Chain A
């Protein structure tokens, strides 16, 4: 099959970007979408031109590094999948595919399709942890965790921090990401001692990073490759209200 790719090219963070069009010939439906980009890049390098910079690492949907908006959808048209898990069988020969970076003020473009997502790391540093003293591991059964709670915490912890929720949100809000992180601690007994301080610090950092305000559009839930649900956002709202009005923090 043959495809036309319209790719966002931007030399550097301060540079103005634009779209460039590339033809990809003789690719097969079982190839991954990224392999098509690899093919374009090999041809660009052979021709002595600058290859397209795009982020990827595991290429199996677990690291959260890839960050492409494909035909207007962060991670592309597949349900519950990252961009690296997308295959060319999702397209027809002759299709034109538009590729843009995840766009948000908090995610500045570094080059082409590569963005800086350290804003999410700073939110984690602000409170996304449990403080424990080092030493030998505690006896596993000394703190009992109900099955439904541990399942819900695991569902929230499935977040790979890719930032697609921010990219898909009409407001560029990071609420789904932050709420997943807040939730996976808030649901477990180990997270309880620091719950008030944690939610206040993470929400404050989130606002400082310049993300938008959530307006419950649920586009985040629809694009999340790990199917994180917006009920986590409601939980974060509860945690936040609790911390503001009931705690001494």
Chain B
């Protein structure tokens, strides 16, 4: 098993691990987004969906898997970034890009911390009801009450912008790391990455805007 340890500890192995976890998290985003869109179908439908999820005996296992994906993605990246930071002890006085980096790739660390902060707040409040004054048990009511606040709705929209940036680099980068680079497919993967980032982040962002304009529950 030594080879497996060597792999996970190698620079390429770390990247492959992060990339695979990231692609699976993209899958989670799609299912989560699809579920959230049921909000627009109204209170009854959304609460029925939430109840269906909560009653599902597989949910705890899925949640553990999801938490594991997030933790692997974050911890391995932090370890790699720490090594990268050490790899240049004396920094340049002047650095001018020749055009390799993108807005997405440049801001990966910042958007990552924004997303991490968001997830902690998001799960603590909407899922566990911490630091909130929810009197309602129902998920629909909770979401609407929560996003009535311009601060919260604003923070959600800001996070979605960060998510879009993060995905705009992460998606294509994961393929490159897994060795998928081909003159026929790479342009398609790059375009698909941008499309995925804009579409997923954009659609997510509609939800807090919509909820805010609804003014909570009437």
Contact = CB atoms under 8 A, between A and B. Distances in A.
B84 A171 contact: yes
Contact of B94 (A71, A213, A222): A71
B179 A212 contact: no
Given A72-B95, A73-B96, A105-B86, A218 B101 contact: yes
B91 interface: yes
Interface residues of B, number: 42
A32 interface: no
Interface centre among B87, B97, B178 (most CB of A within 10 A): B87
A8 B93 CA distance: 10
Interface in A220-235: 220-223, 230-231, 233-235
A185 interface: no
A215 B84 contact: yes
A164 to B, nearest CB: 10
Contact of B88 (A109, A172, A221): A172
Nearest to B173: A216
A236 to B, nearest CB: 8
A105 B87 contact: yes
Interface centre among A71, A216, A237 (most CB of B within 10 A): A216
A217 interface: yes
Contacts of A219: 97-98, 100-101
Nearest to B77: A215
B94 A98 contact: yes
B29 interface: no
Contact of B83 (A71, A98, A213, A220): A213
A186 to B, nearest CB: 12
A216 B97 CA distance: 14
Contact of B100 (A17, A69, A106, A221): A221
B176 A168 contact: no
Interface in B57-100: 80, 83-84, 86-100
Contact of A173 (B11, B96, B169, B182): B11
Interface of A: 8, 17, 19, 69, 71-73, 98, 100, 103-106, 109, 168, 170-173, 175, 203-204, 206-207, 210-223, 230-231, 233-238, 240-241, 244
